[in-house]
Amino acid sequence: MKRISAATAGLALLTLSACGGGDPLETDDNGEDASPAGENGALVVGSQQYYSNTIIAEIYAQVLEQEGYEIQREYEIGQREVYIPELEAGAIDVFPEYTGNLLDYFDPDNESGEADAVHADLGEALPEGLQALDYAEATDQDSYVVTEEFAQEHDLSTVADLAEVDEDLSIAANAEFETRPYGIEGLAETYGVELDLVPVEDSGGPLTLGALLDGEVEVANIYSADPAIEDNDLIILEDTESLVLPQNVVPIVSESVDDAARDAINEVQAVLDQQELLDINSHSQSTQDSPADVAQWWLEDQGMLD
């Protein structure tokens, strides 16, 4: 009996170590490509499983290719829990991120507020070997949105103005809005705004938008880079107290990314303001083009591709 369990334990250990040692990205490469990139000079660009993020990644990739770098693309990697370890291990070299969420990932107890502070804190919170380049003006963050009509009727421009509205207000948002610091409780504590949560689980998608436009809710939580905001003349209420942690687009790079490559990416960062990001997302949604085509379209539009 003892022997069997020892053998089982040994086997389990073997399996475990096999899992731990194997790099899922590398095995992938070996399957498709005889020479695993990332090791002979190619820079690996990754992206989240989110169309807008993948387009930004593709923009970095195309800019770097133009500078003569060899690029390997590892897009749509899903959760932070999956790709951050890959970044730390050096399997990915460039990754578009969002300042606030990434800071929360490394330092959940941070008390940052403004975009600058969040970016600075992020620089300190990042593990050794990873650096945050310049942050773009463009954000993709939770925002409190109302219809233009409602905003005019009640003279709303900031979140605090909601406290003056003399009716029962409800907000359509994901379930987590119940407990997040920027959610129901945060709004009550910081702004004295009491909202009822109507949970709609499509992360500010068409159902949330529909609920707002139908008047089933007065406020909706829609991401600031969602083209639906412009398409439907929605008003983003200004978050004067920085309740929502700023989520500026920021590239995270490894040490294999040299200064010239960093400069090339930072040039993109310098022009990527909110309107540009909205244009990119809007173009992608209306044309349904591939991220590569959208990235190329935008870069040509900016005169950044030869």
Partner 1 sequence: MNHLIEAFEVLLDPDAWSGPGGFGARMIEHLWYTALALLISAAIALPVGLIVGHTGRWRALAVISSGMVRALPTLGVITLAALFVGIGLTAPMISFVVLAVPSILAGAYAGVESVSPATKDAAKAQGMSGWQVLLRVEIPLGLPLIIGGLRNATLQVVATATLAAYVGAGGLGRQLFLGLRTQDYPLMLAASIAVILLAIILDALFELSQRLLRRRMGLV
CA distance 34 to 36: 6
> Can residue 120 be called a binding residue for partner 1 (CB under 8 A)?
no
> Does position 107 bind partner 1 by CB under 8 A?
no
User: Which is nearer to partner 1, 59 or 172 (by Cβ)?
Assistant: 172
* CB of 211 vs partner 1, minimal distance in Å: 5
> Least distance in Å: CB of 90 to partner 1?
27
Cβ-in-10-Å burial (0-12, 13-18, 19+) of 263 comes to exposed
Give me the least distance between CB of 95 and partner 1, in Å please: 21
What 8-state DSSP symbol labels residue 68? T
| Residues contacting partner 1: total by CB under 8 A | 18
Q: In the complex with partner 1, which residue's Cβ is closer, 28 or 202?
A: 202
Site for partner 1 in 203-242 (CB under 8 A): 206-207, 210-211, 214, 216
Closest approach, Cβ 64 to partner 1, in A, equals: 34
Told to check if 11 binds partner 1 by CB under 8 A, we report no
Q: Is 270 in the site for partner 1 (CB under 8 A)?
A: no
The nearest distance, CB 291 to partner 1, in angstroms, is 24
Touching partner 1, residues 153-182 (CB under 8 A): 172, 174-176, 178-180
Q: How far is the CB of 208 from partner 1 (least distance, A)?
A: 8
Beta carbon of residue 241, minimum distance to partner 1 (angstroms, whole number) = 22
- Length of the chain in residues, anyone? 306
Binder among 61, 92, 184, 200 for partner 1 (CB under 8 A): 200
CA 8 to chain centre: 43
Comparing CB distances to partner 1, the nearer of 6 and 207 is 207
Among 33, 202, 255, 300, binds partner 1 (CB under 8 A): 202
Three-state DSSP at 155 gives coil
What gap in Å lies between CA 137 and CA 235, rounded to an integer?
19
Give me the torsion for CA of 139, 144, 150, 152, rounded to 10°: -50
Whole-Å CA distances, 301 to 265, 283, 296: 17, 12, 8
| Residue whose CB is less far from partner 1, 113 or 210 | 210
**The residue to which tokens 């807008």 are assigned:** 52
Measured CA to CA in angstroms, residue 253 lies from 142, 160, 298 at distances of 25, 38, 22
Dig out the tokens for 118 from the structure: 């969040």
From 241, 136, 229, select the one nearest 182 (Cα to Cα): 241
Residue 253 in contact with residue 133, Cβ under 8 Å?
yes
CA distance 206 to 203: 9
Identify which of residues 24 and 199 has a Cβ nearer to partner 1 in the complex. 199
DSSP state of 248: B
The strand pair at 71-74 and 43-46 is best described as parallel
The single residue among 33, 148, 153, 201 that binds partner 1, judged by CB under 8 A, is 201
Nearer to partner 1, 97 or 104 (CB): 104
**Closest CB 173 distance from partner 1, rounded Å:** 10
Binding site for partner 1 (CB under 8 A): 172, 174-176, 178-180, 198-202, 206-207, 210-211, 214, 216
